[in-house]
Amino acid sequence: MVFILCCLMTNFMSNTATTALMAPICLSIAQGMGADPRAVLMACVIGGSCAYATPIGMPANTMVVGAGNYKFMDYATIVSMIILPIAFPFYPA
């Protein structure tokens, strides 16, 4: 959820502002869950940098979406959602 929230927010705010706003909240969430804070913060950081992967987050992407006949789902960032829990497990052994 942190990743998705940061992905959404960074389309309307800068990635720096999104990460600065969400980092303390993410730390609190991680502590409340008993999860590794690094994993939750990585979800925040990577999610906060995903604006480049949507047509509304970057002006260049907005310009080519019509010319290239792209759809919004062509920009989906499913790979990050799969790799994050593998690279940064929430509950390390």
* DSSP secondary structure string for all residues of 5-63: HHHHHTTTS-HHHHHHHHHHHHHHHHHHHT--HHHHHHHHHHHHTGGGGSTTT-HHHHH
Per-residue pLDDT of the chain (93 residues; tens, 9 = 90+): 898 899 889 888 888 899 999 999 999 999 999 988 998 999 899 888 887 777 777 777 788 888 888 877 776 667 777 777 888 887 776
The alpha carbon of 18 is separated from its chain's Cα centroid by a whole number of angstroms, namely 10
pLDDT of residue 22: 94
d(CA 87, CA 84): 5
d(CA 56, CA 34): 35
* pTM of structure: 0.68
56-78: pLDDT as tens digits: 777 777 888 888 888 777 766 67
